[in-house]
Amino acid sequence: MTASRKVLVVDDDPAVRKSIDRVLTGKGYAVITAENGEDAMRKLNEEKYDLVYTDIRMPGMSGLEVAEQVKARRPWTPVVIITGYGTDAAEARAKAAGVSSFMHKPLSPDMIEDSARDALAAPAVAANVMVLPVATEAPLAEPAVTGSALKNIALFFAAPFIGLAYIIALPLVGLGVFAVLAARAASKFEAVRTVARALRHIGMFIAAPFIALAYVVTFPFIGLGLLMWMAGKAAVARIKS
């Protein structure tokens, strides 16, 4: 008696879902449909099914992934793969997962009815196998990886400007150090000290525009780097939540 047999049909093509629904409902099965793999996983979490039909090629989670999830968590539940794009590799993967059979489109009423009867007649796996919850969402990307990527992008854009700031600043720093050493050496002589003070003021006057230029060039990019860093931390915090 098939009245208590509940069947889940997973296919993104509404015509295929209606076709299987019409044939199996007419034979006394209770048919529930899902239009993609994610929807099917939710339904499998909420109810128990005696048989699952799934298309092999769907947006998002493929039929092979659906079959593998079902057989890994409810190995006694028969799964029938439906496809118009069958390949040897796909069939090998499906058989490794433990599916009952493959049905190739176009489907006839006899094919649908026979596949359900044969799948349900196959020896069931022992029903004392532990049932694990079916995953409904893919795991989120690691926040640490995301943060590292954002930091690398910020450094990539800031690197040329940091290099430019070094090119401008380093000669001035070297000139300042040289001037300080020369002033110390000459400080023993009053006349030389007077000349050194004058030269120091002249040097500061000449260096001032370059120091200002270094600030003008560097500060906007330091600010940009800080903004990008703050945006990256906010994005990581959002991913974590």
Provide the residue-wise pLDDT of the chain in tens; the chain has 241 residues.
445 799 999 999 999 999 999 999 999 999 999 999 999 999 999 999 999 999 988 888 988 899 999 998 888 999 999 887 767 887 888 888 888 888 888 899 999 999 999 999 876 543 333 434 444 444 434 444 455 666 677 677 767 777 776 677 667 667 666 666 766 665 556 665 676 677 777 877 787 777 777 767 777 777 777 777 787 777 766 666 5
The answer to whether 51 and 2 have CB atoms below 8 angstroms apart is: no
The structure tokens listed for 197 are 């003070």
The answer to whether 68 and 42 have CB atoms below 8 angstroms apart is: no
DSSP states along 113-173: HHHHHHHHHSPPPPTTSPPPPPP-SPPPPPHHHHHHHHHHHHHHHHHHHHHHHHHHHHHHH
The answer to whether 38 and 62 have CB atoms below 8 angstroms apart is: no
**CA dihedral for 51, 123, 2, 118, sign (positive or negative):** positive
Sheet holding 79-83, edge to edge: 30-34, 6-10, 51-55, 79-83, 101-104
All structural domains of the chain, each given as residue ranges with its CATH number in brackets, are 6-121 (3.40.50.2300), 143-240 (no CATH)
Answer yes or no: pTM beyond 0.85.
Answer: no
**Position of tokens 């359900």?**
116
The structure tokens listed for 203 are 């040097």
